Amino acid sequence: MAASGPPIGVLAELTHRCPLQCPYCSNPAKLLKADRELDTETWLDVFEQAADIGIMQVHISGGEPALRADLEEIVDGLAKRGTYSNLITAAVTLSEDRVGKLAERGLDHIQISLQGARPETTELIGRYKGGHEKKLAVARWARQAGLPLTINAPIHRHNIEEVSEFIELALSLDADRLEIANVQYLGWAYLNRSALMPERDQIARQIEIVEAAREKWRGILNIDFVAPDYFADFPKPCMGGWAFDAFTIAPDGKVLPCHAAQTITGLQFDNVTEHRLEDIWQNSSALNKFRGTDWMPEPCRSCERKTIDFGGCRCQAFAITGNAAATDPACIKSPDHGRMQAIAESMSTRPAGDFVYRRIGREPAGAKANAG
């Protein structure tokens, strides 16, 4: 099936390098070193091509995009085309001077991750000494520079009891948005499932807290909630449909339907160093593989929700069932739904295992089956 229309957004992963080692990182288990990254000119050209085919927003991510010395140039290039730029950052390496420069160059929005609402949690997860205080400082500099701020809080068993504190912290930082994002168990997070899985009643409490806070802080703080699939009845509309209006570019130029798609084996990804972006958007075999609804087997094919959730997440289907075309097991109609929930129950009620921390060049044992 050909592309249904022009794409709106790109997640641009400038690098896999990162000062943090979060065990749920959304990057692939096999991380790319700096020598595989696209150079400045290529990124700038890709963003020109992206604007030409209808891209309106670029989410600059990584790894840690601030480790690229050319970040200012890239923001500049986006601003000149009127493309909306969103910097998704761990923040610990940003200086006040650099935050100011990025704002001056036309950065539109900044999203800062917080691994914990308490310093000790942030350090436990990210393994970066003093990281929490640095993140708070960067958040304040960003607000002083006039940038709108989103705080992103990935949630799992080690910080799920801090949700109220995350809300207080986001308010005190003068954030516009807070993302309470339950970890998606793919890639590194899949490897660390048993160390990360929260308990069912913790999730119920978390949802109550978020719903009450949304009401209380309406018009003051917008709270986005990313639901935990392993305890859900229906899947999320992942990406709004595979290759529907957004895609990801990996540090080496590979164009992916989503940031986790390399966890699915057997897909062929096209590269911006070999093809025009427009050609890739229309003709890439990986993008066309699960586009639209024609690829769906039962129970998705005849389901009234097929254009609501698009069969859910292909990466999760592959991770749990070994078949990327299967119904996302988050769905109650999936034959694997009970098994996924049993996995979650079993993991969440056992003592947390040790983390496999994210490291470049140290692909962990057992990662191969789940790596690209």
Interface contacts to another protein, rule CB under 8 A: 5-6, 8-9, 53-54, 56-57, 59, 82, 84, 86, 108-109, 111, 146-148, 150, 168-169, 171-172, 174, 176-177, 218-222, 224
Nearer to another protein, 56 or 332 (CB): 56
Q: How far is the CB of 371 from another protein (least distance, A)?
A: 28
Sheet (strand 255-256) strand order: 222-226, 177-182, 149-155, 109-113, 84-89, 57-61, 9-13, 246-249, 255-256
CB of 271 to another protein, least distance (A): 24
* CA proximity to 113, closest of 161, 197, 192, 169: 169
Q: How far is the CB of 13 from another protein (least distance, A)?
A: 17
Does the CA dihedral 56-143-219-227 come out positive or negative?
positive
Q: How far is the CB of 36 from another protein (least distance, A)?
A: 28
Q: Smallest distance from the beta carbon of 59 to another protein, in angstroms?
A: 8
Nearer to another protein, 52 or 233 (CB): 52
Min dist. Cβ of residue 148 to another protein (A): 4
Residue type at 212 in one-letter notation:
A
Tokens 């420069």, located at residue: 101
Complex with another protein: residue 51 or 232, whichever CB lies closer? 51
Nearest CB to another protein, comparing residues 277 and 324: 277
Look-up: residue for tokens 């062929």?
A: 268
User: What is the nearest approach in angstroms of another protein to the Cβ of residue 57?
Assistant: 6
How many angstroms separate the CA atoms of 136 and 34, rounded?
28
Q: Which is nearer to another protein, 90 or 107 (CB)?
A: 107
Report the residue number, 220 or 365, with the smaller CB distance to another protein.
220
The nearest distance, CB 339 to another protein, in angstroms, is 33
Q: Pick between residue 38 and residue 112 the one whose CB is nearest to another protein.
A: 112
Closest CB to another protein among 26 and 334? 26
Closer to another protein by Cβ: residue 146 or 351: 146
Cβ proximity to another protein, 39 vs 224, nearer residue: 224
Cβ-Cβ contacts under 8 Å for 335 (sequence gap 6 or more): 327
- Least Å from the CB of residue 150 to another protein: 6
Q: Tell the smallest beta-carbon distance from residue 146 to another protein (Å).
A: 6
